[in-house]
Amino acid sequence: ESDSHALLMLKESFDDDDASALVSWNPGSDPCNEEGKWEGLLCSNGNLEGLRLEGMGLSGKIDVDALILLKDLRYFSVMNNSFDGNIPEINRLGALRALYLSKNKFSGEIPPDYFTGMRSLKKVWLSDNEFSGKIPSSLSDVSRLVDLHLENNEFTGKIPDFHQRNLRSVNFSKNKLQGEIPSSLLRFKGDVFAENPGLCGAQIKVDCNETDKPSDVNGGGGDKNDHRKIIAATVTLGVMLIALIVFLVITWRKKKRKKASNGGGNATENGNSIANIEAQVSLPATVGEVHVVRRTGNLNRTVRSSSHPGTSRGGTVPELVMVNHEMGVFGLPSLMKATAEVLGNGALGSSYKATMVNKVSVVVKRTKEMNSLGKDEFDAGVKRLGKLKHPNVLTPLAYHYRIDEKLFVYEFIANGSLLYRLHGDQGTSAAALDWLARQKIVQGIIEGLDYIHAELAYLDVPHGNLKSSNVLLGPENHPLVSEYGLCSLVSSDRTRTLIAYNTPEAIQNGNVCHKSDVYCLGIIILEILTGKFPSQYIESGKGGIDVVELVATAISEGKQAELFDPEIASGSNSLREMEKLLHIGSLCTRTSPDERLDLKEAIKMIQEIRVDSGPKPDPRPTTLEVSPSLQYGLADVKSHDDSSSIREGNV
């Protein structure tokens, strides 16, 4: 009802005569009704997710207050109409994923910070309007940006830097842009910059030095050529001189570094260390890899930059202790020479992908939170973790101990984490994570967890940090449970960094128990079923969706069928199984550990679902129920999560 009210408000704001295309928008009918869906609506499972009001001859005002009432709106297009005036305040719709305003008569400047709050935005089409002024600088900060179309406007000034790694389509042509095309856009072809007389750069084969040159007022042809030759010679000489200086500086720094590493290095000399790389990169805390901006560097300095080399006060290289030889044996020197890439900033520290000279890639996790044990106990504890071997467990490969910092080394799993798979930007390339795949993931997690509980039963909470970012997905979505058994290593004042210490019992009285892992398992189950990012992963509790509350309410109202991620729910014949798993997830997340299932009970119940369901005809992955022609933009903007929740969590 509220959607139809909002839509009618919107229709009202359009110029009367022109809204004739919207005759189907009538009070009293359901906008997303299968039989008589209102014109231009993109619905999924009865939810209004998009408005595609294209080529309808519309003009007048766009009532943004009405749009705000459409709480699931992620896609907004009024392309090819006759709207004019300044850009409407659509930026108030912070959860929007696609904005199409092309082919209208919008004009005027767009405020520089217009896009600041639109962190879920992937597609921005403003082409073929009369926008003027500078390209809003806030567009550079829209981290998920995939498409940016600004062509055929009157934008002036320089093109800002766009470092978004998912950016795959841009167009700046036919504007009045000036200056050098930023190097971050080097991968795009020249025609997307065409017809901007003031632009220069390699892509459009215009030498920026040439365009800087004062124009030849006298028009003397011979003089002009001479002038050019002089400039070219000066530039060549200048470049050679710079190259020579760079070469000398590099040689000097290499020598200095060599000297430093022989006699004990000085941290401040390592200006390009991973630590510095990290400082330059703003990484969100909880869902690191969802928005991660990668930077490469060299792991060498990570270790050397320590002012306390731990086991080696005399300046010798501290040791890397291998606890698992499955990927061969390597030492710290090989890791030091590896190229490193930031993967994410977790609660316990930062993780890097390190690719060694022999091309083997590992993940190195740096943490400063593990000071509860002395060196010998720490050694014994980690070596025990390294003994675990199970097809669904990611055993650490090695560790490195220093008083002020520890490193853990793991096999690099190329498909990344379950968290990334559920909520990250997959583009169109990744196949949907269908119900069968999700069932298999749950099954693998419980088998791995069961094994960890058997092997580490002596710990207060055997896993202690079970969450979707610590479930890596191998080939064919084979789950590997990682980062287990850390509770006794983490300093007592920092245990809140482990997710088991955010369970109701830990919050109430500081106690954790084996059933704290069951609670965390329950959260993952609910996350997998709903596709929502759990607020339980955020220490501040701000942001994400409280999946426990959401599910409890839906079950009490008998509305559980509405909760499932559309990726698995629409057209599925497995709703019954999903409901059973939802029920188990809810029993695992009971506030009181006494009322909660224990792990064995949960496992038995989960396995019973699979037995009951038996073999099934191949249930194909499902997509939104919109016609193929409508999917062209929506497929890309639809991600598995409710990214508004991630956005609102400021993570």
Kindly tell me which of 411 and 648 has the beta carbon lying closer to ligand ATP: 411
Range 546-605, binding ligand ATP (CB under 6 A): none
Question: For 158, which DSSP code?
Answer: P
Q: Is the dihedral of CA 181, 185, 189, 195 positive or negative?
A: negative
Kindly tell me which of 48 and 343 has the beta carbon lying closer to ligand ATP: 343
Q: How many CB atoms lie within 10 A of CB 553?
A: 13
Kindly tell me which of 160 and 416 has the beta carbon lying closer to ligand ATP: 416
Q: Are 619 and 435 in contact (CB under 8 A)?
A: yes
Q: How far is the CB of 351 from ligand ATP (least distance, A)?
A: 3
Residue 538 engages ligand ATP in binding (rule: CB under 6 A): no
Q: How far is the CB of 292 from ligand ATP (least distance, A)?
A: 8
By DSSP bridging, strand 147-149 and strand 296-298 are: unpaired
Q: What is the total count of residues that contact ligand ATP (CB under 6 A)?
A: 23
Range 428-457, binding ligand ATP (CB under 6 A): none
Residue 351 engages ligand ATP in binding (rule: CB under 6 A): yes
Q: Are 139 and 124 in contact (CB under 8 A)?
A: yes
Residue 412 engages ligand ATP in binding (rule: CB under 6 A): yes
Rounded-to-integer distance, Cα 467 and Cα 523, Å: 8
| H helix or E strand, kind and range, residue 554 | helix 547-556
The two three-digit tokens of residue 126, written as one number: 């403003």
Q: Are 216 and 195 in contact (CB under 8 A)?
A: no
Stretch in the footprint of ligand ATP (CB under 6 A) among 25-33, 188-196, 469-477, 575-583: 469-477
Q: Is the dihedral of CA 272, 274, 277, 279 positive or negative?
A: negative
Who contacts 111 (Cβ-Cβ below 8 Å, separation ≥6)? 136
Pick the binder of ligand ATP from 416, 531, 543, 649 (CB under 6 A).
Answer: 416
Kindly tell me which of 474 and 619 has the beta carbon lying closer to ligand ATP: 474
Stretch in the footprint of ligand ATP (CB under 6 A) among 2-10, 28-36, 132-140, 338-346: 338-346
Gap between the terminal Cα atoms of the chain: 33
Residue 413 engages ligand ATP in binding (rule: CB under 6 A): yes
Range 255-294, binding ligand ATP (CB under 6 A): 288-289
Instruction: Find the farthest-apart pair of alpha carbons in the chain and give their distance in angstroms, rounded.
Output: 94
Kindly tell me which of 145 and 499 has the beta carbon lying closer to ligand ATP: 499
Q: How far is the CB of 463 from ligand ATP (least distance, A)?
A: 11
Stretch in the footprint of ligand ATP (CB under 6 A) among 133-141, 409-417, 503-511, 575-583: 409-417
Q: How far is the CB of 187 from ligand ATP (least distance, A)?
A: 25
C-beta nearest to ligand ATP: residue = 346
Q: Is the dihedral of CA 147, 153, 155, 159 positive or negative?
A: positive
Stretch in the footprint of ligand ATP (CB under 6 A) among 3-11, 234-242, 413-421, 539-547: 413-421
Residue 344 engages ligand ATP in binding (rule: CB under 6 A): yes
Count each helix (H run) and each strand (E run) in the chain, helices first.
19, 22
The two three-digit tokens of residue 586, written as one number: 């809810």
Pick the binder of ligand ATP from 3, 49, 455, 483 (CB under 6 A).
Answer: 483
Residue 420 engages ligand ATP in binding (rule: CB under 6 A): yes
User: How many Å is the Cα radius of gyration of the chain?
Assistant: 29
| H helix or E strand, kind and range, residue 587 | helix 575-588
Question: Which residue from 359, 309, 365 is spatially nearest to 334, judged by alpha carbons?
Answer: 359
Question: Which residue from 583, 617, 616, 618 is spatially nearest to 602, judged by alpha carbons?
Answer: 583
By DSSP bridging, strand 84-85 and strand 105-109 are: parallel
By DSSP bridging, strand 321-322 and strand 398-402 are: antiparallel
Question: Which residue from 45, 146, 137 is spatially nearest to 97, judged by alpha carbons?
Answer: 146
Q: How many CA atoms lie within 13 A of 449 on its CB side?
A: 30
Q: How far is the CB of 326 from ligand ATP (least distance, A)?
A: 13
Residue 347 engages ligand ATP in binding (rule: CB under 6 A): yes
Q: What are phi and psi of 543, to 5 degrees?
A: 105, 170
Pick the binder of ligand ATP from 4, 104, 470, 586 (CB under 6 A).
Answer: 470
Pick the binder of ligand ATP from 417, 439, 503, 645 (CB under 6 A).
Answer: 417
Kindly tell me which of 181 and 343 has the beta carbon lying closer to ligand ATP: 343
Kindly tell me which of 363 and 441 has the beta carbon lying closer to ligand ATP: 363
Q: How far is the CB of 312 from ligand ATP (least distance, A)?
A: 26
Stretch in the footprint of ligand ATP (CB under 6 A) among 270-278, 314-322, 464-472, 506-514: 464-472
Q: Are 529 and 434 in contact (CB under 8 A)?
A: no
Pick the binder of ligand ATP from 346, 485, 531, 593 (CB under 6 A).
Answer: 346
Pick the binder of ligand ATP from 74, 301, 365, 596 (CB under 6 A).
Answer: 365
Kindly tell me which of 185 and 489 has the beta carbon lying closer to ligand ATP: 489
Q: Are 622 and 562 in contact (CB under 8 A)?
A: no
Kindly tell me which of 174 and 647 has the beta carbon lying closer to ligand ATP: 647
Residue 172 engages ligand ATP in binding (rule: CB under 6 A): no
Label residue 358 exposed, middle or buried (CB < 10 Å: 0-12, 13-18, 19+).
exposed
Which residues of the shown chain bind ligand ATP in the complex (CB under 6 A)?
288-289, 343-344, 346-348, 351, 363, 365, 410-413, 416-417, 419-420, 465, 469-470, 472, 483
